[in-house]
Amino acid sequence: MSSVDDNKALIQRYTEVVWQGTALDATFHASDSISHPLPSPSSVSDLAQTAGYFRAALPDLTVSESLIFGQDDRVMQYYTFSGTHTGSPLFDFPASGRTLTIAGENIFRIRDGHIVETWSIIDAAGVFQQLSAQ
């Protein structure tokens, strides 16, 4: 059994590695881990891939806020990240040079120190709004 504090620390490390690190550490996830990401374009199947998608578009991406709390086997997180859109396209918008700030929330179900299920959302409407603003 993992304690809530251990689970929160796991998600803190996961955030640092997945969003700001240079290598993905597959040991965060159990082998039978399930993801429910929103939005869910066909190219993205889990949160780590979502992070990779945004890191490719915003090469200087940094996580600016991260609010983490938990109960029983769940950890919930609100976070925002910022970066300059100089990399790959975002939702079909080519590199815009704009500085974007994007919010998301996640719920993780954790068993024995591994993530076994993730529910996540990225504020895609906010991305569209920032990229299409005059």
Q: Which is nearer to another protein, 13 or 36 (CB)?
A: 36
Q: How far is the CB of 107 from another protein (least distance, A)?
A: 6
Q: Which is nearer to another protein, 38 or 56 (CB)?
A: 38
Q: How far is the CB of 8 from another protein (least distance, A)?
A: 9
Q: How far is the CB of 128 from another protein (least distance, A)?
A: 7
Q: Which is nearer to another protein, 24 or 124 (CB)?
A: 124
Q: How far is the CB of 53 from another protein (least distance, A)?
A: 15
3-state SS string for the chain: CCCHHHHHHHHHHHHHHHHHCCCCCHHHEEEEEEEEEECCCCCCCCHHHHHHHHHHHCCCCEEEEEEEEEECCEEEEEEEEEEECCCCCECCECCCCCEEEEEEEEEEEEECCEEEEEEEEECHHHHHHHHHCC
Tell me which residues touch another protein (CB under 8 A). Answer: 4, 38-39, 67, 69-71, 74-76, 78, 80, 102-107, 119, 121-126, 128-129
